[in-house]
Amino acid sequence: VADPVLQNFCLTAIVIGIAATAVFLSIVVRLAQHYRSLDSDDIRGMRG
């Protein structure tokens, strides 16, 4: 029998991962509009 804890483990991680990816992508869309670039090396207004 598969370990239900491990399945619960992975499902939770997937759900959290989807949420984080959604936030990440929405930020990337906005960044692309502002900076006209998808290279994260170009996005460095704050440094030091």
Task: Output the CA–CA distances (angstroms, integers) from residue 11 to 6, 18, 33, 40, in the order listed.
Answer: 9, 11, 33, 30
Which residues in the 1-40 window bind another protein by CB under 8 A?
5-6, 9, 12-13, 16, 19-20, 23-24, 27-28, 30-31, 34-35, 40
> d(Cα 29, Cα 22) in Å, to the nearest integer?
11
Distance from first CA to last CA of the chain, Å, rounded? 54
48 interacts with another protein by CB under 8 A: yes
| Footprint of another protein (CB under 8 A) | 5-6, 9, 12-13, 16, 19-20, 23-24, 27-28, 30-31, 34-35, 40-41, 43-48
